[in-house]
Amino acid sequence: MSSSTGLTLHSMGFSRWLNRSVGFFVFFILDIVDFLLCFIYRTLDFFFESEWKPCYCCPPPEAKQAAAGGNRGRKMIVSERSGEYSKVVSLTRTKIHLDEISDTLYSRPSLLAKLVKCFKKNAVECSDERSPSTKKKTLLTVNSTVVEKLQRTPRWSDCHCTFCTSWLSSSNSSLFVNVQQPKDNKAQENVVFIHGFLSSSTFWTETLFPNFSDSAKSNYRFLAVDLLGYGKSPKPNDSLYTLKEHLEMIERSVISQFRLKTFHVVAHSLGCILALALAAKRPGAIKSITLLAPPYYSVPKGVQATQYVMRQMAPKEVWPPMAFAASVASWYEHLSRTVSLVLCKNHHLLEFLTKLLTRNRMRTYLIEGFLCHTHNASWHTLHNIIFGSGSKIEAYLDHVRDNVNCDVSVFHGGRDELIPVECSYGVKRRVPRARIHIVPDKDHITIVVGRQKEFAGELELIWRRSSTT
């Protein structure tokens, strides 16, 4: 091995050590800040909403079981310690299955949590020695009380602007769907676009829709959906935003409402999981699947899938910045709520400042998609779908390989720092017929933005190829 190679390896090793060392102290401080914010938000929630609001800081193990128990109504209240804390859960069906709730909501190990747990354990042991017969057992009850006003009332920390609350003025609880179709309404085929995490339908409508050829515009009906909790779609503050809820809303608002018998699917990031789940559920309806930066991590045997995916996407490192941002959003419920409070609640101001500083040269549709959501929606979607699908996505890919007879194409930016290129190669190993396209010098967003004309042409080629097979 040459001396230059040895120096390079040594430098890389030192960089990793420095990143982890600095990260250890930074995230320990963030652990403390998030712990303090927990009490601050409980106080503020009680002040503004006249009741204590629960969080996932220290829930009992039985919490998931209670959520999974289901009830016969459309809502239930999961309460701890005889109602001291309660969470109203909105149900779109009669039961929430246990595997729909990711354990990463409740279990996010940290040094501070270990210290607190150790302190509590010692305190309990001391208490048991004094009075062993008075050991208390935490009980979790499920109350079927219906609280209608919580479903449609935004929380005090959410944005109350007309754009973010437009769904409240409609009695229709369907998702918002942006439709572009031929003038004669005689489209030969349909294409469903599913956006990624912290995004909206504008990711497609502002980039691809204007750049499709006249031929495509006259033959295809394009349907770009705002997912539950994003854009102009409903943002119920009492939903758990599970995979099943997202799928049911897409089926009801897009497939059933527009009577789609067959359709192509184009999905980005988080949307890839929903697209694969949709293909597994409706194999005969899918004409082609196009995935952009799919978050598929091959989980080693014997490893808990949800925790593994969370650590891969949010490794608790301060560098690169994308990893740090993902770590804060994933590990810290109250810090991420603070970011949402500052940014999302003031998104109009940020849009104005962006236009002012760039002299209107920069389109703000990405800001709209990035900020027009609630913390409850982003927090639960991140954990219950992106992390929670860690043990499911392989089964979806296997189903697509064996039971869905359609073209599968995967695009990935060569410089994607959020989801590594290896994820797309993993899809190829699982579905050998999948065509992989690695686009050099593009990242998680610029895989589309900045090359929309080229990508629109690539999609049209995929659809034509699918129609002839």
For 445-457, how does the pLDDT look when each residue is reduced to its tens digit (9 = 90+)?
999 999 999 999 9
Can you give the pTM of this predicted structure?
0.85
Q: Which of 45, 158, 226, 416 is catalytic?
A: 416
58 or 343, higher pLDDT:
343
444 has catalytic annotation: yes
Q: Are strands 85-90 and 140-143 parallel, antiparallel or unpaired?
A: unpaired
Q: State the pLDDT confidence band at 469, using cuts at 50, 70 and 90.
A: low
How does DSSP classify residue 373? B
- Over range 166-176, report the average pLDDT: 85
Is 141's pLDDT higher than 70?
no
Tell how many helices (H) and how many strands (E) occur in the chain. Answer: 17, 10
Q: Which of 246, 347, 373, 444 is catalytic?
A: 444
Confidence at residue 425, expressed as pLDDT on a 0 to 100 scale: 98
Confidence at residue 81, expressed as pLDDT on a 0 to 100 scale: 33
Is 176's pLDDT higher than 80?
yes
Is 111's pLDDT higher than 50?
yes
Top mean-pLDDT range of 8-12, 64-68, 73-77: 8-12
Confidence at residue 138, expressed as pLDDT on a 0 to 100 scale: 37
- pLDDT 10s digits, 232-270: 999 998 889 999 999 999 999 999 999 999 999 999 999
SS3 424: helix
Q: Are strands 177-180 and 220-225 parallel, antiparallel or unpaired?
A: antiparallel
Confidence at residue 99, expressed as pLDDT on a 0 to 100 scale: 58
Average pLDDT in the chain: 83
β-sheet bridge partners, residue 189 = 220
Name residues whose C-beta falls within 8 Å of residue 356's C-beta, 6 or more positions apart in sequence.
none
β-sheet bridge partners, residue 411 = 292, 437
- Over range 126-136, report the average pLDDT: 45
Cβ atoms 75, 90 nearer than 8 A: yes
Q: State the pLDDT confidence band at 115, using cuts at 50, 70 and 90.
A: low
Per domain, the residue ranges of the chain are 59-64+72-107, 166-467
- pLDDT 10s digits, 374-397: 999 999 999 999 999 998 999 999
- Which helix (H) or strand (E) segment holds residue 12: the answer is helix 3-49
20 or 254, higher pLDDT:
254
Dihedral (CA of 389, 383, 138, 149) sign = negative
The mean-pLDDT minimum among 51-60, 112-121, 132-141 falls in 132-141
Is 464's pLDDT higher than 70?
yes
β-sheet bridge partners, residue 170 = none
Confidence at residue 137, expressed as pLDDT on a 0 to 100 scale: 37
- Domain covering 166-467 in this structure, CATH number: 3.40.50.1820
Is 67's pLDDT higher than 80?
no
The mean-pLDDT minimum among 114-123, 189-198, 332-341, 417-426 falls in 114-123
Confidence at residue 422, expressed as pLDDT on a 0 to 100 scale: 97
Confidence at residue 11, expressed as pLDDT on a 0 to 100 scale: 62
Confidence at residue 362, expressed as pLDDT on a 0 to 100 scale: 63
416 has catalytic annotation: yes
Give the percent of the chain with pLDDT over 70. 78
Q: State the pLDDT confidence band at 70, using cuts at 50, 70 and 90.
A: very low
- Over range 339-359, report the average pLDDT: 89
Distance CA 179, CA 205 (A): 9
92 or 228, higher pLDDT:
228
Q: Which of 31, 102, 110, 195 is catalytic?
A: 195
Q: Which of 86, 201, 253, 269 is catalytic?
A: 269
- pLDDT 10s digits, 297-342: 999 999 999 999 999 999 999 988 989 999 999 999 999 999 999 9
Torsion angle of the four alpha carbons 375, 380, 386, 388, in this order, in degrees rounded to the nearest 10: 160
195 has catalytic annotation: yes
Q: What is the CA radius of gyration of the chain?
A: 23
Distance CA 117, CA 208 (A): 51
Tokens of 2: 């040459």
**Strand residue runs (E) in 18-139:** 75-80, 85-90
Confidence at residue 94, expressed as pLDDT on a 0 to 100 scale: 37
Distance CA 35, CA 157 (A): 18
